[in-house]
Amino acid sequence: MSLYAEITQSSMDFNAFEQLEIQRFSAEEILQTIKGLMGQTQFKQLSRALGEAGLAIYPQDEELLTVNALMAMLDKNWDHVFELMQPLIELRGDRNSAQSYIIFVRALTKRLDYDKAWLTVNQALKQYPDDETLQTLHLDIAECIFHAQLSKHPQ
């Protein structure tokens, strides 16, 4: 029986979920189950728990990192988005998309980490110089850094 079928057909609660042997499923099957559960409000917490369990088993899986970051974004949990995007950005290296950089930079700015956001957006612009969202983020971060400098050194 598939993981999705086990979860949805047994009207599973968290106690049953903890006893389910998630490690017997592949990263791909866990990912597909999460995707199937995400759109169903009654399974919102379960999909997040499954995402965390999947990452515990497959911590370097790019797709699991991505879907977990998406769920964290939906929850507006920017610290968690940062925790998931940082290893994803490192894993992908030159294969990062402009969108991945954008999500990571936004997480950094929500955490008020403007220095790291500045470094990251500049790195992203080297790879995607024509991306308008990255250009806008670059200007926004520059303005934040400028205002932060002004507040440290009032005239």
Q: What is the DSSP string of 44-65?
A: HHHHHHHHHHHHHH-TT-HHHH
pTM recorded for the entire structure? 0.81
Residue 68, in any domain of the structure:
no
100 with 52, same domain: the answer is no
13/4 Cα distance (integer angstroms):
14
109 with 39, same domain: the answer is no
126 with 101, same domain: the answer is yes
17/46 Cα distance (integer angstroms):
8
Q: Both ends of the chain: CA-CA distance in Å?
A: 69
Model confidence pLDDT, tens digit, residues 100-152? 999 999 999 999 999 999 999 999 999 999 999 999 999 999 999 998 887 77
Token reading at 7: 């979860």
Model confidence pLDDT, tens digit, residues 41-73? 888 888 998 999 999 999 999 999 999 999 999
Residue 108, in any domain of the structure:
yes
Model confidence pLDDT, tens digit, residues 11-35? 555 555 554 678 888 999 999 999 9
How many domains are contained in the chain? 2
> What is the Rg, in whole angstroms, of the alpha carbon atoms belonging to the chain?
19
11 with 80, same domain: the answer is no
Domain that includes residue 45, residue range:
1-61
Q: Give the three-state DSSP class for 2.
A: coil
Residue 85, in any domain of the structure:
yes
Query: Which domain CATH number covers 83?
Result: 1.25.40
Strands (E), 2-155: none
